[in-house]
Structure 1
Amino acid sequence: MSSYRTRHRAVVHPLNGKPVQPFANLDYKDSRELVAQLTTYLRGLWPAPQKIQIDVAARKILVNGVERAAYELVAPAAVKKSSAVMF
Protein backbone atom coordinates (compact mmCIF):
# COMPACT_ATOMS: atom_id res chain seq x y z
CA MET A 1 0.00 0.00 0.00
CA SER A 2 1.46 3.33 -1.00
CA SER A 3 1.54 6.26 1.36
CA TYR A 4 1.66 9.13 -1.12
CA ARG A 5 -0.86 11.93 -0.86
CA THR A 6 -2.77 13.63 -3.64
CA ARG A 7 -3.52 17.33 -3.80
CA HIS A 8 -6.43 18.65 -5.81
CA ARG A 9 -8.84 21.53 -5.82
CA ALA A 10 -12.49 20.47 -5.72
CA VAL A 11 -14.92 22.60 -7.72
CA VAL A 12 -18.56 22.02 -6.74
CA HIS A 13 -21.15 22.59 -9.49
CA PRO A 14 -24.72 22.84 -8.12
CA LEU A 15 -27.37 21.66 -10.58
CA ASN A 16 -29.04 25.07 -10.65
CA GLY A 17 -26.22 27.58 -10.59
CA LYS A 18 -22.63 28.66 -10.89
CA PRO A 19 -19.72 26.83 -9.25
CA VAL A 20 -19.42 27.41 -5.52
CA GLN A 21 -16.54 29.61 -4.39
CA PRO A 22 -14.15 29.47 -2.61
CA PHE A 23 -12.99 26.12 -3.93
CA ALA A 24 -11.97 23.31 -1.58
CA ASN A 25 -8.26 22.54 -1.39
CA LEU A 26 -7.96 18.82 -0.68
CA ASP A 27 -4.96 16.75 0.40
CA TYR A 28 -5.95 13.08 0.61
CA LYS A 29 -4.47 9.58 0.49
CA ASP A 30 -7.47 7.47 -0.52
CA SER A 31 -11.16 7.77 -1.37
CA ARG A 32 -12.19 7.62 2.31
CA GLU A 33 -10.12 10.72 3.09
CA LEU A 34 -11.45 12.41 -0.05
CA VAL A 35 -15.04 11.82 1.06
CA ALA A 36 -14.31 13.00 4.62
CA GLN A 37 -12.63 16.23 3.51
CA LEU A 38 -15.24 17.00 0.86
CA THR A 39 -18.05 16.35 3.36
CA THR A 40 -16.45 18.77 5.82
CA TYR A 41 -16.28 21.41 3.09
CA LEU A 42 -19.91 20.80 2.04
CA ARG A 43 -21.20 21.30 5.61
CA GLY A 44 -20.89 25.03 4.92
CA LEU A 45 -23.34 24.72 2.02
CA TRP A 46 -25.79 22.23 3.51
CA PRO A 47 -26.07 22.37 7.33
CA ALA A 48 -25.70 19.39 9.68
CA PRO A 49 -29.31 18.05 9.76
CA GLN A 50 -28.95 17.23 6.07
CA LYS A 51 -27.43 13.88 5.08
CA ILE A 52 -24.60 14.33 2.58
CA GLN A 53 -23.46 11.40 0.44
CA ILE A 54 -20.66 11.57 -2.10
CA ASP A 55 -20.48 9.18 -5.04
CA VAL A 56 -16.76 9.09 -5.86
CA ALA A 57 -17.15 7.00 -9.03
CA ALA A 58 -19.80 9.24 -10.62
CA ARG A 59 -18.54 12.45 -8.93
CA LYS A 60 -22.02 13.35 -7.72
CA ILE A 61 -23.16 14.89 -4.43
CA LEU A 62 -26.42 13.67 -2.91
CA VAL A 63 -28.20 15.60 -0.17
CA ASN A 64 -30.91 13.60 1.62
CA GLY A 65 -30.76 11.06 -1.23
CA VAL A 66 -31.38 13.65 -3.97
CA GLU A 67 -28.69 14.68 -6.44
CA ARG A 68 -27.88 18.33 -5.75
CA ALA A 69 -24.47 18.89 -7.31
CA ALA A 70 -21.52 17.44 -9.15
CA TYR A 71 -17.87 18.03 -8.44
CA GLU A 72 -14.62 17.90 -10.33
CA LEU A 73 -11.07 17.54 -9.09
CA VAL A 74 -8.59 19.95 -10.63
CA ALA A 75 -4.86 19.35 -10.29
CA PRO A 76 -2.84 22.32 -9.08
CA ALA A 77 -1.03 24.24 -11.78
CA ALA A 78 2.58 23.27 -12.21
CA VAL A 79 5.11 26.01 -11.67
CA LYS A 80 7.01 26.66 -14.87
CA LYS A 81 10.72 27.15 -14.52
CA SER A 82 11.99 30.20 -16.28
CA SER A 83 14.94 29.81 -18.61
CA ALA A 84 15.76 33.51 -18.38
CA VAL A 85 18.46 34.62 -15.99
CA MET A 86 17.78 37.73 -13.94
CA PHE A 87 20.76 39.92 -13.00
Structure 2
Amino acid sequence: MTDIFTALADSTRRALLDELADRDGQTLFELCARLVSKHDISSSRQAITQHLGVLEEAGLVHTRRQGRYKFHHADFTPLRAVSVRWPIPQEDT
Protein backbone atom coordinates (compact mmCIF):
# COMPACT_ATOMS: atom_id res chain seq x y z
CA MET A 1 0.00 0.00 0.00
CA THR A 2 1.31 3.42 -0.98
CA ASP A 3 1.85 5.88 1.82
CA ILE A 4 -0.78 8.62 1.84
CA PHE A 5 1.91 11.29 2.14
CA THR A 6 3.73 9.93 -0.91
CA ALA A 7 0.46 9.99 -2.84
CA LEU A 8 -0.22 13.60 -1.84
CA ALA A 9 3.34 14.77 -2.54
CA ASP A 10 2.67 15.19 -6.27
CA SER A 11 0.83 18.30 -7.48
CA THR A 12 -0.93 16.42 -10.31
CA ARG A 13 -2.35 13.91 -7.84
CA ARG A 14 -3.52 16.75 -5.59
CA ALA A 15 -5.21 18.37 -8.62
CA LEU A 16 -6.92 15.05 -9.41
CA LEU A 17 -8.27 14.90 -5.86
CA ASP A 18 -9.42 18.54 -6.16
CA GLU A 19 -11.33 17.66 -9.31
CA LEU A 20 -12.91 14.58 -7.75
CA ALA A 21 -13.86 16.60 -4.67
CA ASP A 22 -15.49 19.15 -6.99
CA ARG A 23 -17.33 16.51 -9.05
CA ASP A 24 -17.07 12.89 -7.96
CA GLY A 25 -17.39 9.94 -10.32
CA GLN A 26 -15.50 11.14 -13.39
CA THR A 27 -14.01 9.14 -16.24
CA LEU A 28 -10.35 9.38 -17.27
CA PHE A 29 -11.35 11.50 -20.28
CA GLU A 30 -13.27 13.95 -18.09
CA LEU A 31 -10.43 14.22 -15.58
CA CYS A 32 -7.85 14.84 -18.31
CA ALA A 33 -10.01 17.59 -19.83
CA ARG A 34 -10.52 19.29 -16.47
CA LEU A 35 -6.80 19.10 -15.63
CA VAL A 36 -5.96 20.88 -18.88
CA SER A 37 -8.66 23.54 -18.63
CA LYS A 38 -8.49 24.33 -14.91
CA HIS A 39 -4.91 23.48 -13.89
CA ASP A 40 -2.95 23.76 -17.16
CA ILE A 41 -1.75 20.16 -16.67
CA SER A 42 -1.41 18.43 -20.02
CA SER A 43 -0.08 15.03 -19.01
CA SER A 44 -0.85 12.04 -21.19
CA ARG A 45 -3.77 9.75 -20.36
CA GLN A 46 -1.24 7.06 -19.49
CA ALA A 47 0.47 9.37 -16.97
CA ILE A 48 -2.90 10.34 -15.42
CA THR A 49 -3.82 6.66 -15.20
CA GLN A 50 -0.58 6.03 -13.30
CA HIS A 51 -1.33 8.92 -10.93
CA LEU A 52 -4.83 7.55 -10.34
CA GLY A 53 -3.24 4.17 -9.59
CA VAL A 54 -1.05 5.69 -6.89
CA LEU A 55 -4.08 7.43 -5.37
CA GLU A 56 -6.04 4.19 -5.50
CA GLU A 57 -3.21 2.29 -3.85
CA ALA A 58 -3.22 4.87 -1.04
CA GLY A 59 -6.97 4.40 -0.60
CA LEU A 60 -7.80 7.93 -1.76
CA VAL A 61 -9.55 6.90 -4.99
CA HIS A 62 -11.86 4.01 -5.79
CA THR A 63 -12.97 2.99 -9.26
CA ARG A 64 -16.24 1.57 -10.53
CA ARG A 65 -16.79 0.00 -13.92
CA GLN A 66 -20.05 0.59 -15.73
CA GLY A 67 -20.13 -0.91 -19.19
CA ARG A 68 -17.03 0.21 -20.98
CA TYR A 69 -16.49 3.21 -18.71
CA LYS A 70 -14.47 3.39 -15.53
CA PHE A 71 -15.58 6.00 -13.01
CA HIS A 72 -13.22 7.39 -10.38
CA HIS A 73 -14.46 8.35 -6.91
CA ALA A 74 -12.58 10.16 -4.15
CA ASP A 75 -12.39 8.63 -0.68
CA PHE A 76 -11.11 11.06 1.94
CA THR A 77 -11.27 8.54 4.80
CA PRO A 78 -7.45 8.19 4.92
CA LEU A 79 -7.14 11.98 5.32
CA ARG A 80 -9.62 11.92 8.19
CA ALA A 81 -7.47 9.25 9.86
CA VAL A 82 -4.47 11.60 9.64
CA SER A 83 -6.42 14.47 11.21
CA VAL A 84 -7.59 12.18 14.03
CA ARG A 85 -4.04 11.01 14.71
CA TRP A 86 -2.61 14.53 14.69
CA PRO A 87 -5.43 16.94 15.54
CA ILE A 88 -4.81 20.61 14.93
CA PRO A 89 -5.17 22.51 18.21
CA GLN A 90 -7.59 25.42 18.25
CA GLU A 91 -5.91 28.80 18.54
CA ASP A 92 -7.20 31.29 21.07
CA THR A 93 -8.38 34.45 19.36
| TM-score normalised over the length of structure 1 | 0.30
Q: Normalized per residue, which structure has more strand?
A: 1
Larger radius of gyration: 1
| TM-score normalised over the length of structure 2 | 0.29
